Structure 1
Amino acid sequence: MSKFDQFKAKLRPGQTYRRADLAQWSTAVDRHLKEAVQAGVLTKLAGGLYYAPKQTAFGKAPPEDDTLVSTFLKGGPFLLASPNAYNALGVGTTQLHNKTVVYNHKRHGKFALGGRTYDFRMKPAFPKKLTAEFLMVDLVNNLDQLG
């Protein structure tokens, strides 16, 4: 079994990896990453961030948001939210948005990961799960960004 095959055997479909995480399985990690991307075993999502695609009946599935953001941030805590959640409050917002907001303690800014843009916002405190109260306060705080 070649070194590349040994490296490939460690990868799990549906998982996201940082280059530093993969370096433990290879002495030539950059070469193996290049080979894995060319072979379709890994997909490069961003600099130093990779995804082992999960095959479905409809083709290769994109990474789960939770898994991708957790790998990008090197763990939690974080809260995924979308302005679409405001629609459930019943306050008259009905527009749909194509963005995901990530409340966290580590990163701030907009990052393109795997073809999607995530808006990372550093907050000192946020709940573990979205609540109506948090959404209402967040709605008021982001009124200027709504259509």
Structure 2
Amino acid sequence: MGATQNIQKQISKLADGTTFKYEQLDIEPQDFSATAKAIERLIAKGVIKRVSTGVFYKPKKTAFGELKPNEEEILKPYLFEKGKRIAYITGISLYNRLGLTTQIPNSIKIASRNKRITVSNGNVKASPVKSYVDVTDKNFYLLELLDALKDFKKIPDLDKSSVIKILLTKLKELNPTETKILIKCGLAYPPRVRSFLGALLENIKAEGDLTALKTSLNPLSEYEYGINEKQLATAKNWNMK
């Protein structure tokens, strides 16, 4: 199969509205030049469109015309490197998606351990923040929850009782292996986050050993979140106030 046919076949299998980069395509090194030309021909035909340099998308056609990919889809290619996840969306955009706030940010935050990811593509803008641990497909959604605990007091329009209920629900949905990974990742976060995480996990009687979280904390330290025992019954056990 020639390079052009190979690319056409791969793109035909992509869902409409999907964004992609060259590195996400199965291309032999010797075929890269031919692939680039094939991509340009497909753009000329309207089969795919360019989002930015090296980033493309397959348009989604509707009765009202073509739909452009949403913000998260545009940013998706930047979250991966050589097929492996290296970053995730965090900040207010994440907290909006999780239902913790109704606010919508002007700029999106992208967290990565070793790479600063900046995006400026029309109305879609993203700036980098450093993640506390290496980001993978197995932990990024757990890091999202830890970030919510870290930024709890900074989340705009925060309803503490409602947000705690949402967080408890999400933690209950984790299986024991996921909870174990969550605790391990949590140990890399500041003490106040470890305290909050321990209180939440104890509240739902999670299947996991909380000893590491407990012993990582200074028993004389207090962590001010403005949370009372009616909102989180186990808060006092973890020196939260």
Structure of higher RCO (CA pairs closer than 8 Å, 6+ residues apart):
1
Gaps of 5+ in 2: 134-141, 157-241
Matches within 5 A, 1:1-147: 4=4, 6-11=6-11, 12=14, 13-22=16-25, 24=27, 27=31, 28-74=34-80, 75-82=85-92, 85=95, 97-108=105-116, 110-113=118-121, 115-125=123-133, 127-129=143-145, 132-139=148-155
CA distance in 2 between counterparts of 1:130 and 1:60 reads 37
Which has the larger share of helix? 2
Aligned in 2, Cα 1:65/1:105: closer, same or farther, shift over 3 Å?
farther
CA distance in 2 between counterparts of 1:120 and 1:61 reads 27
CA distance in 1 between counterparts of 2:73 and 2:103 reads 27
CA distance in 2 between counterparts of 1:78 and 1:137 reads 21
Q: Among the aligned pairs, what percent are the same residue?
A: 17
Following TM superposition, the consecutive aligned residue runs of length 4 or more in structure 1 with deviations greater than 6 angstroms are none
Secondary structure, aligned partner of 1:29: helix
Computing the radius of gyration from Cα coordinates, the structure with the larger value is 2
TM-score, normalization: structure 2? Answer: 0.44
Secondary structure, aligned partner of 2:51: strand
Equivalent residue letter for 1:7: I
Gaps of 5+ in 1: 141-147
Equivalent residue letter for 1:8: Q
1:18 to partner: Cα distance: 1.3
CA distance in 1 between counterparts of 2:147 and 2:131 reads 16
Secondary structure, aligned partner of 2:66: strand
Equivalent residue letter for 2:92: S
Aligned length: 136
Report the more deviating stretch, 131-140 or 119-128. Answer: 131-140
